[in-house]
């Protein structure tokens, strides 16, 4: 079964290279950018400006090989790809919850941007605590490592080989 998607828009971001890019929105507080939605989808934005936060699903377009076990940015041990948030995945879909500050025509101004410039966006959903906030009891290997989240930066390890040679 093949599933085909097309980008609904693209990210404009100050992060031009993987190296040095925050690894999560928590390390990107206040960083501003835009989502430029394709104008054919503009009607779908109706009433979105009422939400302070939105979920962006996007295609990690520079991610490379998808080995099933990898060292994440926050640990020096290997973990399964489904227990880490690395961009290189069997289906390289990224997820970021960002602040929505303004919508003007087909342009969404956003804050806390941890995405690369040019990232193709697949979906926008309103972020709703009643749906998206869960009380967890365990966060596995991250328990001892989550304190690194806001300071660790991308070092390019998940880039496609062609991108690394640039």
Binding site for a second copy (CB under 8 A): 1-8, 24-26, 41, 43-55, 57, 59, 68-69, 78-85, 89-91, 93, 95, 97, 120, 122-134, 136-143, 146, 149
**Residue 20, burial from CB neighbour count under 10 angstroms (0-12, 13-18, 19+):** exposed
In the complex with a second copy, which residue's Cβ is closer, 107 or 127?
127
Task: Report the residue number, 51 or 153, with the smaller CB distance to a second copy.
Answer: 51
Q: How far is the CB of 15 from a second copy (least distance, A)?
A: 17
Name residue, tokens 């990898």: 70
Task: Name the token pair of 59.
Answer: 């295609």
* 135 CB neighbour count, 10 Å cutoff: 4
Q: How far is the CB of 10 from a second copy (least distance, A)?
A: 9
Least Cβ distance, residue 26 to a second copy (angstroms): 6
User: Rounded to an integer, what is the distance from CA 145 to the centroid of its chain?
Assistant: 20
Q: Do 11 and 58 meet the contact criterion of CB atoms below 8 Å apart?
A: yes
* Least Cβ distance, residue 37 to a second copy (angstroms): 8
- Shortest reach from residue 9's CB to a second copy, in Å: 10
Enumerate the β-bridge partners of residue 147: none
- Comparing CB distances to a second copy, the nearer of 8 and 116 is 8
Backbone angles phi, psi at 33, to 5 degrees: -165, -170
Candidates 125, 53, 124, 122; CA nearest to 92 is 122
Cβ(98)–Cβ(62) below 8 Å: no
């Amino acid at each position: 079964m093949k599933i085909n998607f097309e980008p609904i828009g693209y990210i404009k971001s100050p992060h031009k290279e993987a190296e040095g890019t925050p690894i999560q929105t928590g390390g990107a507080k206040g960083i501003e950018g835009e989502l430029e939605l394709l104008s054919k989808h503009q009607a779908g934005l109706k009433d979105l400006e009422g939400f302070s936060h939105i979920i962006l699903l996007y295609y990690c377009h520079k991610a490379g090989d998808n080995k099933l076990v990898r060292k994440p940015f926050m640990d020096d041990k290997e973990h399964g790809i489904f227990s880490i948030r690395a961009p290189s995945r069997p289906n390289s879909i990224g997820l970021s919850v960002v602040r929505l500050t303004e919508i003007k025509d087909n342009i969404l101004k956003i804050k806390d941007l941890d995405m690369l410039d040019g990232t193709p966006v697949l979906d926008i959903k309103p972020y709703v605590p009643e749906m998206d906030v869960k009380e967890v009891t365990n966060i596995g290997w991250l328990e001892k490592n989550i304190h690194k989240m806001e300071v660790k930066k991308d070092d390019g390890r998940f880039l496609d080989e062609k991108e690394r040679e640039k």
